[in-house]
Amino acid sequence: MAKISVPKQLWKDVGEIHSQDDVIVKVLVPLLKGLGFVESEMEFNRSSPKPLLIQLGSKKQVATKRPDIAIKTKGKYLLVVEAKPPSEDIDDIAIGQAVSYAVLFGTHFAMVSNGESVEVFRVHSLFDYRQEDLLLNKNQISEQTTPTFSHAESEEAKRSLITFKERKEFANVFNICHDIIRTQRGLSAKERLYEMCKILFVKLVEEDRLYKENQLNRFDRKTFDDVESKGVKAIDFMNKTLFPNANERLSGIFGDETVSLESHTMKELVY
């Protein structure tokens, strides 16, 4: 995909660009103004209209990632913008973050720039987006219809943006999971860890299935609620559908084992 060079005539005394903040202040804001947006329409580091929360058991973890700029006009989000430091290339991770923000903010357009080049994507769904060949101005973007993204897409977009800035944040989530499993009697410490490993493998396989095959991620709370509304216990769905599928993809490393948890415990581990 071809990258669009940032039109230097839209910059105002750019000077040296050393950081991500420089990209935002010296490149992106002037660029966006040149495309017809005014600064009062630019929301910087704005939290998502759909909060990035995960809940494990009774404890909540808050994800802090936010788009660098979200542009809102007449109550409608038109564009989300991700900035990268000038030393970094625009990679799939940055593009994926921008697309996820577009889904959460309900806009067709996501922009990513490292100060030297800019990429704009038209987002039809979380997995269906294409790069634009030209920079669209405010009027061109405003003319587009407001997209409708599914609940499943919004939930997956939130999950894709959850990150751990420090090792202790991951350790905290791991400890919460362990505490949830510990409430079930009859499992030793070693067995609890083993059960957690099984669940992590299922989670990884479902996410791999989602991103590589564009198939629904079935390891989420809504899916478990849906199957239980049809009279199927969460743990039965895990052991008859999710775990066998994961085990098959992992060349049967778990043999004929199952996940040894109760349904309520299983559901508390899913976000």
pLDDT tens, position by position, 22-64: 899 888 999 999 899 999 999 998 776 765 555 555 555 555 5
Is residue 31 within 8 A of residue 118, CB to CB? The reply is: yes
* Three-class HEC string of the chain: CCCEECCHHHCCCCCCCCCHHHHHHHHHHHHHHHCCCCHHHEEECCCCCCCCEEEECCEEEECCCCCCEEEEECCEEEEEEEECCCCCCCCHHHHHHHHHHHHHHCCCEEEEECCCEEEEEEEEECCEEEECCCCCCHHHHHCCCCCCCCHHHHHHHHHHCCCCCCHHHHHHHHHHHHHHHHCCCCCCHHHHHHHHHHHHHHHHHHHHHHHHHCCCCCCCHHHHHHHHHCCCCHHHHHHHHHHHHHHHHCCCCCCCCCCCCCHHHHHHCCC
pLDDT of residue 271: 67
Best-predicted range by mean pLDDT among 147-156, 207-216, 236-245?
236-245
Average pLDDT of the chain, as a whole number: 84
- Among the residue ranges 33-42, 131-140, 164-173, the one predicted with the least confidence is 164-173
pLDDT of residue 4: 65
- For residue 32, what pLDDT is reported? 93
The distance from CA 119 to its chain's CA centroid, rounded to whole angstroms, is: 19
Given this model, what pLDDT does residue 107 score?
94
Q: What confidence tier does 129 reach under pLDDT thresholds 50, 70, 90?
A: very high
Rg (CA), the chain: 22
Query: What per-residue confidence (pLDDT) applies to 179?
Result: 84
**Residue 213 predicted with pLDDT over 70:** yes
Helical packing angle, 221-229 and 151-160, nearest 10°: 140
Q: Is the pLDDT of residue 249 over 60?
A: yes
| Of 48-57, 101-110, 223-232, minimum mean pLDDT range | 48-57
Q: Which residue has the higher pLDDT, 4 or 228?
A: 228
CA dist 20 and 43 (Å) reads 16
Q: What is the mean pLDDT of residues 178-199?
A: 87
What average pLDDT does the segment 99-120 reach? 92
Confidence of residue 130 (pLDDT cuts 50, 70, 90): very high
Is the separation of the CB atoms in 4 and 118 below 8 Å? Answer: yes
Q: Which of 62-66, 113-117, 254-258 is least confident?
A: 62-66
Distance of CA 211 to the CA centre of its chain: 11
pLDDT number for residue 1? 46
Q: Is the pLDDT of residue 15 over 60?
A: yes
pLDDT of residue 33: 92
Q: What pLDDT is stored for residue 36 in this prediction?
A: 94
The residue type of 221 is: R
pLDDT at 173 over 80: no
Question: Residue 74 to residues 41, 71, 78, 142: CA-CA distances in angstroms?
Answer: 9, 10, 10, 10
Cβ–Cβ under 8 Å, residues 123 and 101? no
Predicted model pTM:
0.68
